[in-house]
Structure 1
Amino acid sequence: MWLIVLFDLPTETKKERKAYTKFRKFLLDDGFNMMQYSVYYRHCASRENAEAHTRRIKGALPEKGFVNVISITDKQFGDIQFFVGRKEKPPPNAPHQLELF
């Protein structure tokens, strides 16, 4: 599973910029990577793990703004086409699963 977080937060006042920065730092500390401005993604080992991260996001929501959380499968994430300028870029590699013997 992959979680994608899209957000549009106000940054007009100092308080709003602080809330924006705090939320962005929360995402980075929780293992998310920036896909583009205000779009972050993270791999989750299972649906339960994705739900746990979604609950964490709910707990860190700023007072104002819009936040969307989308969960997609590995296959759907693999079908995303990434472009930088006019050139296609390969998608990020999924992390390897931990194997226990």
Structure 2
Amino acid sequence: MVTDFLHGTVHEAAEDLQAALQSDAIALELWASLTPLGRNEFICWVEDAKQPTTRRRRIERMRDELFEGKKRPCCWAGCIHRTDKAPSRWQQTVLIDRRGKRSL
């Protein structure tokens, strides 16, 4: 049984994401079984949503993907906020503007 909520390597899960996982013991156990980097990717993906409806939809999809056995969000370029590795060439080109400022 998970007692403390586990976050990612860079990001901490917001209250709405925590509540969605804590409302279902199996979802919470699946979340706890992820690596810190896997949790970080899901959190970053949810946090990247610009609108509340998109955020809610991503949280629901995240739960579905956990139940499907996925360890990271599908079709996500990856967290550009990590400091332990440089962004990939694709992330650099698409997600980071020419001034070096990260767009997310």
**For this structure pair, what is the TM-score category when the shorter chain's length is used for normalisation?**
under 0.3
* Larger helix fraction of residues: 2
Q: TM-score, normalised by structure 2?
A: 0.27
Greater C-alpha radius of gyration: 1
The one of the two structures with greater contact order (alpha-carbon pairs below 8 A, sep at least 6) is 1
* Larger strand fraction of residues: 1
Q: TM-score, normalised by structure 1?
A: 0.27
